Amino acid sequence: MSTKTRTPVMAIRNLVVDYVTQEGPLRVVDGVSLDVHAGELLGLAGESGSGKSTLALAAMRALGAPGVIRGGEVLLSGDNGVEDLLRMSPARLQEVRWSDVAMVVQSAMGALNPVLKVRDQIIDALVAHGVPKARHAPRVAELMQSVSLPPETADAYPHQLSGGMRQRVVIAMAIALRPRLLWMDEPTTALDVIVEREILELVAELSRKEGFGVVLITHDLPRMLEVCDTVAIMYGGRLAELATVDVIHRGGARHPYTSGLMAAFPSLHGDESALQAIPGDAVSLRQPPTGCRFHPRCARAQASSGCMDRTPPWRQTNRLGVACHRADEPE
Ligand code: SF4
């Protein structure tokens, strides 16, 4: 899929997030900039602790203590033009959540009210955003159909549904107000692989049909590469690479960490015997390495290129980019 050049639905600019700890602040997200466009599925990948989930929560302004947003912008494009979500009044934030930007989290059960029927939970969201009563029943019916659930599911309680059905309900609630952007943080972790595949394919289909952008965080890299258009790779709180899935499938990753991640996961239909783990441990944010944070684990690290003492700058071309001193050198 070609990269898009029109105004993004969300533009994250130089976002910086710390966790305040007794030993001092830990910089968990360090100057990340990222665009998401209408109808685009962007995968956000990286090892545990790379900052993906913190980035998502900060960009939703839903980050709790000990997280503190130190700087940056989260620019939302909507009917009111471009607004910085980080500087909105609480009332305005309440308005844009769910109607402009929504989030699906890992635990469907945690996201649903166990004592309310599905229908009533969806209607609560519609009422909170001023949708007229006459639209409630038709919208609930449309949503059940959109997420391929039988209409009678609307009259069930969450505990009467399977895990996969509950996650479809959560997705229906998230898109009930037709947001422009949907964050999905490990939305299928608790589900078996078949249901996981069905749910992610459903989200991809809805995104393309209804035109909302999606940021998908999942530990399942092969599945991410199957459904997404673009992949952003994070390492140690920073963006390492932004590449199209087509480029990655063709072996065109430019950052050694991206290539390492690809080699560490089995392809969806491939041979697991050829897997290669990335050597070394994930970066310590308490004492990050100087220069490129990946250098202690990187087979291409080279002192004369500055890998050990200079932070690689982010270099971007046509929306795609990489932060590696040696990205333009042949391997
Ligand atoms: Fe490896 Fe150097 Fe590139 Fe970092 S900057 S990924 S150490 S080659």
pLDDT (tens digit per residue) in 110-134:
789 999 999 999 999 999 999 999 9
The sheet with strand 315-317 has its strands ordered as: 101-104, 181-185, 213-217, 41-45, 230-235, 238-244, 320-322, 315-317
Of the residues 125, 155, 178, the one at which a domain ends: 178
44 and 157 inside one domain: no
Least confident span in 10-24, 32-46, 262-276: 262-276
213 and 309 inside one domain: yes
Q: 301 alpha carbon to ligand 1 midpoint, in Å?
A: 5
Q: 297 alpha carbon to ligand 1 midpoint, in Å?
A: 9
pLDDT over threshold 60, residue 269: no
> Mean pLDDT of all residues in the chain?
91
Given a contact cutoff of 8 angstroms between Cβ atoms, the answer to whether 300 and 258 are in contact is no
Confidence of residue 198 (pLDDT cuts 50, 70, 90): confident
Determine the pLDDT at residue 314: 95
Q: Can you read off the two tokens belonging to residue 182?
A: 């949907």
The string of pLDDT tens digits covering residues 34-78 is: 999 999 999 999 988 899 999 999 999 999 999 999 999 999 998
Determine the pLDDT at residue 218: 84
62 and 121 inside one domain: no
Per the domain annotation, does 40 fall within a domain?
Answer: yes
Q: Which atom of ligand 1 is nearest to the CA of 298?
A: 1
pLDDT over threshold 90, residue 151: yes
293 and 167 inside one domain: no
pLDDT over threshold 90, residue 109: no
β-strands 81-84, 67-78 pairing: antiparallel
Own/partner pairs, 18-26, CB within 8 angstroms, 24+ separation: 18/67, 18/68, 18/70, 19/54, 19/66, 19/67, 19/68, 20/65, 20/66, 20/68, 21/66, 23/286, 25/68, 26/285, 26/286
Query: 119: Cβ below 6 Å to ligand 1?
Result: no
Q: Where are any strands of DSSP class E within 236-317?
A: 238-244, 315-317
Query: 256: Cβ below 6 Å to ligand 1?
Result: yes
Contacting residues for 62 by C-beta, under 8 A, at least 6 apart:
103
Q: Which atom of ligand 1 is nearest to the CA of 300?
A: 8
Sign of CA dihedral 187, 189, 195, 200: positive
The string of pLDDT tens digits covering residues 308-324 is: 999 999 998 887 999 99
**pTM (predicted TM-score):** 0.91
Of the residues 148, 178, 208, the one at which a domain ends: 178
Q: 128 alpha carbon to ligand 1 midpoint, in Å?
A: 49
Helices (H), the chain: 52-59, 90-99, 108-111, 118-128, 136-146, 163-174, 193-210, 221-227, 245-249, 256-264
Domain that holds residue 114: 105-178
Determine the pLDDT at residue 319: 78
Q: Which atom of ligand 1 is nearest to the CA of 292?
A: 4
93 and 190 inside one domain: yes
173 and 194 inside one domain: no
pLDDT over threshold 60, residue 2: no
Mutate to test the pocket of ligand 1, among 294, 302, 305, 331 (most ligand atoms within 8 A of CB): 294
92 and 138 inside one domain: no
Given a contact cutoff of 8 angstroms between Cβ atoms, the answer to whether 113 and 184 are in contact is no
21 and 94 inside one domain: yes
Determine the pLDDT at residue 4: 42
36 and 170 inside one domain: no
Report which of residues 108 and 83 the model is more confident about.
Answer: 83
70 and 188 inside one domain: yes
Report which of residues 89 and 49 the model is more confident about.
Answer: 89
Query: 301: Cβ below 6 Å to ligand 1?
Result: yes
Least confident span in 66-75, 192-201, 267-276, 291-300: 267-276
Q: 329 alpha carbon to ligand 1 midpoint, in Å?
A: 11
pLDDT over threshold 90, residue 267: no
β-strands 213-217, 181-185 pairing: parallel
Q: 186 alpha carbon to ligand 1 midpoint, in Å?
A: 28
Q: How many domains does the chain have?
A: 2
Query: 240: Cβ below 6 Å to ligand 1?
Result: no
Determine the pLDDT at residue 1: 42
pLDDT over threshold 60, residue 3: no
Least confident span in 63-77, 81-95, 175-189: 175-189
